[in-house]
Structure 1
Amino acid sequence: MNVKIDFHNVTLRFKKFEALKNISASLEANKIHGLIGRNGAGKTSLLSLVAAFREATDGQIMIDGEPVFENPDKMQQVMFVYDKSYAEEYDKIPAMLEFVERHRPYYDKEYADYLLKRFKLPLDKPVHKLSKGMQSAMNAVMGLASRAPITIFDEAYLGMDAPTREIFYQEILADQAEHPRTFILSTHLVSEMDYLFDNVVIIDQGRLILNEDYETLTARGASITGAAEQVDEFTAGMKILNEQKLGGTKKVMVYGTLDEQRLSAARQQGLDIGPVSLQELFIHLTEEAQ
């Protein structure tokens, strides 16, 4: 399912407030895209446009070269899963899944049945009587089993405990390997979920800060660990993201690519060079954008 998403100068206004500001980007097909941003950055606004829940004020969102808004063929290719209240939902899980099956042509019932067992979900209780964690797991089943060419999870893990979230992540990776599609995962749990991402999209205050391959992005920083004095000397003049000291040992995270000459010099001084976390880079990039 080779389904690509293009944003062309997308702006979204609510009266005088600009939720999204002139966003242009392409999201490659069959990749897992991590969408990250601070609270109120515009993540959900952006995703609601992809799902055609609303129309952009200016600009256009295209799926495989066609506008998605009021385009039934393209709309059914998108499954948008988000955290919502089920307080008034008296149906049981099978009825919820039947609705997905009717409206999403790639839905896989056999896979849904497998996921229901994997998440240990009860089929005989009304949805409003399920715990928050079970409702979140049901959301995960609906999104995964839809096999929609574009599957969006917007903070869909809310309510899941850590073991359930781990099952959710495992299933995303396993199904992506067998049945590739375009995933967009919007999250605050950056350090927990970063290993899932092929590509990272960062937005801040409605603006696109970055849309980049995960490996390329994380290579922009490094952690340097060793004797405090040597680490300070080596990192002098670099952009420091974070530093920690324990006794005579220091670990410093820096922003900037280290060339082979610098890496060789670090090794000769007995310094350990490691990767920098996506979370540290995210904090730095969104601080810079303020």
Structure 2
Amino acid sequence: MTTVVEVKNLTKRYRTTTAVENVSFSLERDTIYGLLGRNGAGKTTVMSILTAQNFATSGDVRIFGEEPYENARVLSRMCFVRESQRYPDGWRARNALKAASLIFPNWNEEVAQRLIKEFQLPLNRDIKKVSRGQLSAIGVIIGIASRAEITFFDEPYLGLDAVARQIFYDRLLEDYAEHPRTIILSSHLIDEVSNLIERVMVIDAGKVIMDESTDDVRDRATAIVGESAAVEAFAAGREVLHRESLGHVTSLTVLGHITPSERAQLTTAGIELAPVSLQQLIVRLTQAAAESKEVAP
């Protein structure tokens, strides 16, 4: 695999807040990444720094082996679809799409026109008067039709209904299959995007707490439910992410692989096992991280 983004010891501090703290990671060519985490975790800050729309306090960022700041060679190969993108006064959707077609060298007008129809986007309405969903549709169209070598989508679906979101997911995958590139999709609708992403990166409180392939993550945790004593006995020595009890019944989310023989024993003992979705896993991991900070001296 070819590395297209290399980040080392990235930190971003504001006056009283550290948005990103000593973060290091790399992104490979032709891979779809899920940049996941709760609101305010630092996802947008990281993307803004990578696309040279913000500046790091310290650390090193390399895109295609070069620094991105004031580097037209690098910036022309990236597209950043922001959740809060602003446009000049008086602009219509038509103006935004025309400008994008001039900026991005790999722009595909046929893809853009197809998406305009599917999203039913009004091209001649003042952008400041379109709905939130229509504003998001403009960004989605630009992000897909640009065919930039690296494309960042920052919560791109805000305001889109379920049908429009599915159109986005379907068309993104279709175009990626025909024209592979590196895509970073920031989202809190984790289960919706779990089938799109090939690698999961979770940021929590400004730090990367997970950076793994989606396949490796899927079997990382299991929910076990049953009689409290039996459940707790099985979980002894294992890492427990979450625990709930009601009467004599306990539900645990445990990390680690459970062997077929262990599963058979648990089933015989009347203990139920269930897979943990990607969203559940990330929620439990971030909760556990927050709880560990609270008890730290």
TM-score, normalization by structure 1: 0.88
**Alpha-carbon contact 1:231-1:250 (below 8 Å) kept:** no
- How has the CA–CA distance of structure 1 residues 244 and 72 changed in structure 2, closer, same or farther, with 3 Å as cutoff? farther
Please tell me whether the aligned partners of residues 136 and 158 of structure 1 are also in contact (alpha carbons under 8 angstroms). Answer: yes
Comparing 66-75 with 134-143, which one deviates more in the overlay?
66-75
Residue 257 of structure 2 is matched in structure 1 by: 257
CA–CA distance in 1 between the matches of 2:60 and 2:32? 22
2:39 is equivalent to residue 39 of structure 1: yes
Q: 1:244 to 1:133 in 2, by over 3 A?
A: farther
Q: For 1:66, what is the secondary structure of its paired residue? A: coil
Runs of 4+ aligned structure 1 residues displaced above 6 Å come to: 248-251
Aligned letter for 1:80?
F
Is the counterpart of residue 51 in structure 1 residue 51 in structure 2? yes
Deviations 1:77-102 (A, max 9, x none): 11111122658642222221111111
* Equivalent pair of 1:231/1:252 in contact (CA under 8 Å): no
2:50 partner amino acid: V
Match of 1:187 in 2: 187
Question: Which residue identity lines up with residue 241 of structure 1 in the other structure?
Answer: H
**Aligned counterpart, 1:157:** 157
User: Structure 2 CA distance, aligned partners of 1:9 and 1:2?
Assistant: 21
Aligned position for 1:71: 71
**Contact kept in structure 2, 1:243 and 1:253, CA below 8 Å:** no
Query: How far apart are residue 251 of structure 1 and its match?
Result: 6.4
Letter in 2 for 1:218: R
C-alpha distance in structure 1 between counterparts of 2:88 and 2:18, whole Å: 32
Matches of 1:228 and 1:210 in 2, distance apart?
Answer: 32
- Percentage of matched positions with identical amino acids: 37
Q: TM-score, normalized by length of structure 2?
A: 0.86
Deviation at 1:35, TM superposition (A): 0.9
Distance (Å, rounded) in 2 between the aligned partners of 1:3 and 1:121: 36
1:111 matched residue in structure 2: 111
Q: Secondary structure at the match of 1:195?
A: coil
| Secondary structure of the corresponding residue to residue 202 of structure 2 | strand
Q: Name the Cα RMSD after superposition.
A: 2.7
Query: How far is the alpha carbon of 1:241 from its aligned partner?
Result: 2.6
2:178 is matched with 178
- Matched with 2:81 is 81
Please say if residues 81 and 154 of structure 2, whose CA atoms lie closer than 8 Å, have aligned partners that are also in contact: yes
Q: Decide whether aligned partners of structure 1 residues 91 and 146 sit closer, same or farther in structure 2, where only a CA change above 3 A counts.
A: same
Single out whichever of 192-201 and 148-157 deviates more from structure 2: 192-201
Change (3 A) 1:17 1:265: same
Cα drift, residue 202 of structure 1? 1.0
The reply on whether 1:90 has 2:107 as its aligned counterpart is no
Q: Which amino acid aligns with 1:149?
A: E
Paired residue for 2:144? 144
Between the aligned partners of 2:126 and 2:16, the Cα distance in structure 1 is 41
The 1-side partners of 2:230 and 2:110 are apart by 55
Gapped regions of structure 2 (runs ≥ 5): none
Other-structure match for 1:129: 129
- Please give the per-residue CA displacement for 1:192-226, whole angstroms capped at 9, x wherever unaligned: 2222211111111111111111121221112346x
- Write out per-residue CA displacement over residues 26-53 of structure 1, whole angstroms, 9 at most, x where no aligned residue: 1222111111122221111100011111
Whether the 8 Å contact between 2:3 and 2:26 is mirrored in structure 1 is no
